[in-house]
Amino acid sequence: MKTAIAERIEDKLYQNRYLVDSGRPHIKVRPHQSPSPSLLALTRVCPANCYELNESGQVEVTPDGCMECGTCRVLCEASGYIEWNYPRGGFGILFKFG
Amino acid sequence: MTHKNFDAIVVGAGMSGNAAAYTMARRGLRVLQLERGEYAGSKNVQGAIMYANMLETIIPDFRNDAPLERHLVEQRFWIMDDTSHTGMHYRSDDFNELSPNRYTIIRAQFDKWFSRKVREAGGTILCETTATELARDSGGKVIGVHTDRAGDVIQADVVVLAEGVNGLLGTRAGLRETPKPENVALAVKEMHFLPEEVIAERFGITGDEGCVIEAAGTISRGMPGLGFLYTNRESISLGIGCLVSGLAATMEKPYDLLDGFKRHPSVRPLIAGSEVKEYAAHLIPEGGFKAIPQLFGDGWVVVGDAAQLNNAVHREGSNLAMVSGRMAGESISLIKSRGKPMTKQNLSLYKAMLDKSFVMQDLRKYKDMPSLLHTNSRSFFMTYPQLISHAAKNFLRVDGTPKIEMEKATTAAFIKARSRWGLLSDAVRLAFAWR
């Protein structure tokens, strides 16, 4: 017997503890007409699924569930499509186990 | 807000940062350690296995009060295809020694303990403080750090960059490059909680004994990657890591890989009925010797993951972090005790110590391994695991087929998949990279 339904990422992130710095996102996507391949890759590769395509075909970021791993930074920062910082001290993910 | 000057600022409270801060504080230096998390460990992620020897060198009696989960008596290596695994197990009662060699740990708890040791040794730790930029004088010498707290630059003679693989300070200041996608793996991990006796029964262990499974094969879908399963006392750390370049090329979702690993028929029964309490992600430096940046300069040194000190072949990282942190701390203390300034030339002592140690010797030994696995990833992580599985199945299944025919079929399958020349070439290249 195989369980066919994959777990939802939202349910995974729900287990985690975050202190969200409201109104001060630590990652921003620069305005763009259509996303570059590396920017588009973030909608798949981000382990917290922070990146999504909006209705008009641009990549958006909602870093509330971010685990601060840096994958998007490694892929995209150099191209200038995203602006990456760590959250302010004390904010962001708080691992209970790590 | 004014700050008194410190002898050293350590940025980060992971393995390397705590080792450096502890070493210097014990030697009487005025040490300030900055940690952006709520407490030391709240931003840190590891599998995690801790190698005792490297901590013992720093804190000899750590076993008295360090939060340790299980000491490892058994290691399993699995080569997996979609429905099977071919494994090698090593188990020895010799690992049930008085001072065991390696333990599983939970980093958030372990780092809290290590940080307490730093404080007891006289170090000052400032949590919830993100260092934002290095401060340099007109000659380029690092003289301190800016933070996101109100106030001036916090000054010190030397800054120890223990900021992890994704450290911003050193890369923003141009002291080293941001890691390249082919030099870092993204690992995702879950903490599966089960009663202690269930874990003991499923893994055939008793008391404090622990078991480790590391697995490669089709679970990483042709990318260079590794799955792992570590037993803690009342939980199992389960995860999978793949090179970021591989993920970007295949557009695989990391949590899909994790779910695939969890649903594999060899893994599923081990975690059945568990309660997942955390999902974590972290980058792991995989570039090896060739990716190591400049390790020291005027007023700074870099240690641990930030310096790409990770032995991917032997899955050793936190111990290299501890050794590099300790050696940075020892060399800074020595320079200080001689009354010398923290110049690039004097701080080269740190690199000299590291070069002499197993850290650099091991990393140099495997310097060609990352590129080999990167360029041949489909063969090593997809084709060979499937062939090995079929070979094992042919060997074991009894259905009236003559053995000679089964052997021929196995050999033919290997040659068909990789050709004679390909097999020979893979073997030779692997042997050379391993040598």
Give B91: exposed, middle or buried? Use CB within 10 Å, 0-12, 13-18, 19+: middle
Rounded CA gap, B417 and B422, in Å?
9
pLDDT value at B78 more than 80: yes
The pLDDT, as a whole number, for residue A97 is 97
Rounded CA gap, B36 and B127, in Å?
6
DSSP letters, A21-71, are -TT--SEEEPP-SS--HHHHHHHHH-TT--EEE-TTS-EEE-GGG-----H
Overall average pLDDT of the A2-12 stretch: 72
Beta bridge partner(s), residue B332: none
Cβ(B165)–Cβ(B292) below 8 Å: no
Query: Which tokens belong to B316?
Result: 């050793």
Q: Which of B14, B62, B7, B77 is nearest to B41 (CA)?
A: B14
Overall average pLDDT of the B207-225 stretch: 95
With CB atoms and an 8 Å threshold, state whether B254 touches A3: no
| Tens-digit pLDDT profile for residues B113-139 | 999 999 999 999 999 999 999 999 999
Overall average pLDDT of the B26-32 stretch: 98
User: ipTM, 2 decimals?
Assistant: 0.94
Overall average pLDDT of the B372-385 stretch: 86
pLDDT band for position A7 (50/70/90)? Answer: confident
pLDDT value at B1 more than 50: no
Overall average pLDDT of the B65-70 stretch: 98
Overall average pLDDT of the B333-350 stretch: 98
How many of the other CB atoms lie within 10 Å of CB of B309?
29
Rounded CA gap, B379 and B336, in Å?
52
Determine the residue of chain A that is closest to B183 in CA distance. Answer: A74
Per-residue burial over A7-26, b if 16 or more Cβ lie within 10 Å, else e, is bebeebbeebeeeeeeeebb
The pLDDT, as a whole number, for residue A6 is 64
Percent over 70 (pLDDT), chain A: 94
With CB atoms and an 8 Å threshold, state whether A71 touches B281: yes
pLDDT value at B342 more than 90: yes
pLDDT band for position A33 (50/70/90)? Answer: very high
Beta bridge partner(s), residue B280: B189
Query: Which tokens belong to A64?
Result: 């509330």
Beta bridge partner(s), residue B33: B10, B125
The pLDDT, as a whole number, for residue B152 is 84
Which residues in chain A have Cβ-Cβ distances shorter than 8 Å to B263?
Answer: 2-3
Rounded CA gap, B181 and B172, in Å?
18
Instruction: State chain B's mean pLDDT as an integer.
Output: 95
pLDDT value at A42 more than 60: yes
Query: B residues 223-262 near A, CB within 8 Å?
Result: 235, 244, 247-248, 251-256, 259
Are β-strands B300-302 and B154-161 bridged in parallel, bridged antiparallel, or unpaired?
parallel
Q: Which of B107, B179, B155, B164 is nearest to B325 (CA)?
A: B164
**Chain B interface, best mutation among A13, A26, A72, A97, by max B CB count within 10 A:** A97
With CB atoms and an 8 Å threshold, state whether A89 touches B186: no
pLDDT value at A2 more than 70: no
Are β-strands B49-51 and B102-104 bridged in parallel, bridged antiparallel, or unpaired?
antiparallel
With CB atoms and an 8 Å threshold, state whether B186 touches A86: no
Rounded CA gap, A51 and A18, in Å?
18
Which residues in chain A have Cβ-Cβ distances shorter than 8 Å to B185?
Answer: none
Q: Which of B133, B165, B152 is nearest to B14 (CA)?
A: B165
Which residues in chain B have Cβ-Cβ distances shorter than 8 Å to A66?
Answer: none
Rounded CA gap, B93 and B315, in Å?
22
Query: B residues 325-364 near A, CB within 8 Å?
Result: none
pLDDT band for position B14 (50/70/90)? Answer: very high
pLDDT value at A4 more than 50: no
Which residues in chain B have Cβ-Cβ distances shorter than 8 Å to A41?
Answer: 247-248, 251
The gap between the terminal CA atoms of chain A, to the nearest Å, is 32
Rounded CA gap, B175 and B306, in Å?
11
Overall average pLDDT of the B342-351 stretch: 98
pLDDT value at B9 more than 80: yes
The pLDDT, as a whole number, for residue B431 is 87
Rounded CA gap, B212 and B171, in Å?
35
Q: What values do phi and psi take at A35, rounded to 5?
A: -70, 145
Cβ(B110)–Cβ(B69) below 8 Å: no
- Map residue A82 onto helix, strand or coil: strand
Amino acid at B199: I
Overall average pLDDT of the A76-91 stretch: 95
Amino acid at A74: V
The pLDDT, as a whole number, for residue B337 is 97
| Tens-digit pLDDT profile for residues B282-313 | 999 999 999 999 999 999 999 999 999 999 98
Overall average pLDDT of the B57-76 stretch: 98
Query: Which tokens belong to B250?
Result: 């295949």
Rounded CA gap, B161 and A64, in Å?
27
Cβ contacts below 8 Å, chain A against chain B, sum to 141
Considering CB atoms only, which of B253, B276, B278 is closest to A96? B278
Overall average pLDDT of the A12-25 stretch: 94
The pLDDT, as a whole number, for residue A5 is 57
